[in-house]
Amino acid sequence: MEPEKNSLSEEIQITTPTSPENKLPDSKLKAKLKLSIWEIVKFVILTLVIVVPIRTFIAQPFIVHGGSMENTFFENEYLIVDELSYFLRLPVRGEVIIFRYPKNPSIFFIKRIVGLPGETLAIKNNRILIKQADDIWQALNEPYAKGKTFSDISDITLKDQEYFVVGDNRELSYDSRAWGPVKLDLIRGRAWLRLLPFARINYLPGASENN
What does the pLDDT look like over 3-54, one tens digit per residue?
Answer: 555 444 444 444 445 455 555 566 666 666 666 776 777 666 655 555 555 5
Question: Rounded distance, CA 95 to CA 72, Å?
Answer: 12
For residues 165 and 176, the answer to whether their CB atoms sit within 8 Å is: yes
What does the pLDDT look like over 123-141, one tens digit per residue?
Answer: 998 899 999 988 899 999 9
Active-site positions? 68, 111
Q: How many percent of the chain have pLDDT more than 70?
A: 72
For residues 190 and 73, the answer to whether their CB atoms sit within 8 Å is: no
Amino acid present at 55: R
What does the pLDDT look like over 136-156, one tens digit per residue?
Answer: 999 999 999 987 776 888 899
**Paired residues of 128 in beta bridges:** 123
What does the pLDDT look like over 63-105, one tens digit per residue?
Answer: 999 999 999 999 999 999 998 999 999 999 999 999 999 999 9
- Cβ neighbors of 166 (< 8 A, separation 6 or more) are 111, 112, 114, 128, 149, 173, 175, 176, 177
Question: Rounded distance, CA 181 to CA 120, Å?
Answer: 12
CA distances from 114 to 97, 117, 145, 198 (A): 11, 10, 11, 29
Between 186 and 22, residue with greater pLDDT: 186
What are the φ/ψ torsions at residue 32 (nearest 5 degrees)? -65, -40
Domain boundaries, the chain: 28-56, 61-203
Query: 104-131 burial, b for 16+ CB within 10 Å, e for fewer?
Result: eeeebbbbbbbbbbebebbbeeebbbbb
CATH of 61-203 given 3.40.950.10, 3.40.50.300, 2.10.109.10, 3.90.79.10: 2.10.109.10
